[in-house]
Amino acid sequence: MPIRFSTAVCAVLLTLPLGRALADVAPDHAEKMAGGLKLFKNGVGQMLKQHCVKCHGGEKTRGDFDLTTREALLKGGSEGAAIVPGNANASRLLKLVSHAEKPFMPAKAEKLPPAMVENIAAWINTGAPYDKPLVDTKLAAGEMQITDTDRQYWAFAPLAKPATPAVENTRWPENEIDRFILAKLEEAKLQPNRRAEKRTLLRRVYYDLIGLPPTPEETAVFLAAADGNPRTALESVVDRLLNSPHYGERWGRHWLDLARYADSFGFEQDTDRHHAYHYRDFIIKALNKDMPYNEFVRWQIAGDEIEPANPLAMMATGFLGAGVFPTQLTEKEFESARYDELDDMVNTVGTAMLGMTIGCARCHDHKFDPIPTRDYYRMITTFATTIRSEIDVDLKPDETRLRLAKRWPSGSETNCRGGLANGSRAGRPSSRRSSSGPCSTTRNSSRSTGRGSSGRMTARFC
């Protein structure tokens, strides 16, 4: 008789399309924009400043057409849109500067050289990107403008390896990290503490790495080994504890604090999230597997898009839904609750991953960080199609395939499908709506809706 599992996952948001709110981004979008920026910096921007800005956003704004910023360019003027990003031939601006249509531009001046017109066309075809506004002193009414100084903000700086500092007491450091510590001590005219006793050092290592004290037996083994070679004995303990499953349990707590993880929804009802623990388990597994940080971050933001067939990646998206969420709403509260939910996602991405309090820009330009309100809402749109959902996920697909292969040998596909159908009688109907919120939906696994049928582990995201 097969073992049945009834394990589930909750508090996850999936990026499911809702009527295609936003157009798909072309695969070569980033490459095109980079090429467009190069064109802008190498001539197009200066040409616009020299021949166009005076009448369109500088001293005057003729035809209500301002091209000093990309936002204003895309807005167009009284005659409609000026450009169609990615399609120069359909753009009115190119037709005017190439004298294909009247009024010829620049006004009361010679036609631009053919090479310059070609550069404008190529720039529009790449999306017409700007690296900065064409008029440095021009500020849109009440709007923050990001300056070159703002772009040097510490949170935007790439990671760098600083030079190892010189120290006076060269005998004390045993590695480069020690030199950084000693340099600050010497700067403050302080001396390092004496070395800890072996038993004390062992307890510190245990509490730091796994949060538990060593057993008397482990202490005895370490002390015996340390009598011969203390450094080798300590390194052996550290390696063993780093490979312990308790390591992820100990250090995962710190990330769960950043991710505002909880086992309940919050607010006055504060109902339980019965399956939220699977996101917690992802954090533990990621740390124990020494998952690369870039993958760790990407999976939590869009694991269902990046690796939809990977159960661990699906569990990771619980990050987006780990925040508070009202489980009882009136019709008038739906829209405000949705914006609060999006704000929670963006704000947490900012504080946990970017080192910035992005949420402050929801109502006004940020008072300290270089984040205009317009950029806050652009980031909100990134999660516009992210919804709170309940789905079934096989957490052990390899075991399931082996179990099914033993039960239904090759050539028994029909029996296999029938067995799955019979095993799914305890599952949820696909039309059932989740009670987790107004935007919730349910998506069942295409292979089975059974709860633990044929030994599969069922995960439910809500």
Residue 372 CB contacts under 8 Å (≥ 6 apart), including other chains: 143, 144, 145, 146, 361, 365, 366
Tokens of 99: 């004298």
Confidence (pLDDT) at 411: 56
Nearest CA to 182 out of 171, 173, 195 is that of 173
What are the domain boundaries of the chain? 29-134, 198-243, 250-460
In the numeric block, the tokens 């050289």 are attached to 113
Are 88 and 39 in contact by the 8 Å Cβ rule? The answer is: no
Are 347 and 358 in contact by the 8 Å Cβ rule? The answer is: yes
Residue pLDDT tens, the chain, 462 long = 333 333 334 444 444 443 333 445 677 888 888 889 999 999 998 999 889 988 898 877 888 899 888 988 999 988 889 999 999 999 999 999 999 999 999 988 889 999 999 999 999 999 999 988 888 654 555 678 888 888 888 988 888 899 999 999 999 999 999 999 999 999 999 999 998 999 999 999 999 999 999 999 999 999 999 988 889 999 999 999 999 999 999 999 999 999 998 888 777 777 778 788 889 999 999 999 999 999 999 999 999 999 998 999 999 999 998 888 787 778 888 888 888 889 999 999 999 999 899 989 998 888 888 999 999 999 999 898 888 777 788 888 888 888 888 888 765 544 444 444 333 333 333 333 333 333 222 232 332 223 333 333 333 343
CA 70, 73, 75 angle in degrees (round to 5)? 110
DSSP 8-class letter at 261: -
- From the number of C-beta atoms within 10 Å of its C-beta (0-12, 13-18, 19+), residue 425 rates as exposed
